[in-house]
Amino acid sequence: MIITSTPYRFIDIPDVTLLAGVKYDPNDVPEGTALYVTACAQCHGVPGVDKGGNVRNLGYVPKETIENLKDFVFKGPFRDQGMPDFTGKLTEADVTKIAAFIQGTADAIRPKPAESTGQAKQ
The fraction of the chain above a pLDDT of 90, given in percent, is: 66
Q: Does the pLDDT of residue 48 top 50, yes or no?
A: yes
The pTM of the full predicted model, rounded to 2 decimals, is: 0.80
Q: Which domain holds residue 99?
A: 26-109
pLDDT at 10: 47
Residue 90 lies in a domain: yes
**Separation of alpha carbons 58 and 56, rounded Å:** 6
**Structural domain count, the chain:** 1
Asked if 39 contacts 89 with a C-beta cutoff of 8 angstroms, the reply is yes
CATH number at residue 69: 1.10.760.10
